[in-house]
Copies of this chain bind each other. A is one copy, B any other.
């Protein structure tokens, strides 16, 4: 898929080879499962290319991605030990964040989110990583904790060859607009709807 002749040839003055090396903004949105898991699956490909990978986890709790974190950090150690693959950094933006914006803590969460984004922005300027996973990043945008126009400007103007994957429901249309690749994950059926709770290894 997507490797043969493209349906249109853009008049951008680039060669096919150059177009094969354009940095992408990728968005995984929608109410279904697989948004983050697909981002971490993509990170496996980037790891194999030897890319530096930075994961920035905008979630309420440390435990939800523990499997992916353990696996990707193990791959980072494989790189450190053997030189295979690429290095991996995993950053959690505060274990205490809440989806529900509990009263009394909202302000701290907003500050943490802004601080996290400021760090990502610095790294984009410094070209620290080749692949950034901004996990659940749509929520602080929706909640007004991070300025969407500033994110759009930073992503649009980022230098060099840096891919950015953003995950989360209800992605702001301004981010969709500048994204290169957008996939919506739609829930067709989920055991939770039938009264079956989440389970180890599947939900976390």
A interface residues, Cβ below 8 angstroms from B: 1-3, 6-10, 16, 19-22, 24, 26-30, 32-42, 44-49, 51, 66-68, 70-72, 74-75, 77-78, 84-85, 130-131, 163, 176, 179-204
Contact = CB atoms under 8 A, between A and B. Distances in A.
14 contacts: A2-B190, A3-B197, A3-B198, A6-B197, A8-B193, A24-B202, A34-B35, A41-B44, A41-B68, A47-B67, A48-B66, A77-B78, A180-B189, A181-B190
Q: How many copies of this protein are present in the complex?
A: 2
Contacts of A188: 27, 29, 176, 182-184
Contacts of A181: 33, 189-191, 202
Given A37-B42, A47-B71, 9 more contacts: A3-B197, A6-B195, A10-B194, A22-B199, A33-B38, A37-B45, A38-B38, A40-B41, A182-B189
A45 to B, nearest CB: 3
Contacts of A10: 194-196
A70 B48 contact: yes
Given A6-B192, A85-B71, A38 B49 contact: no
Given A8-B194, A41-B38, A78-B74, A46 B185 contact: no
Nearest to A169: B1
Contacts of A183: 32-34, 185-188
A202 B78 contact: no
Contacts of A84: 70, 74
A191 B195 CA distance: 39
A2 B94 CA distance: 21
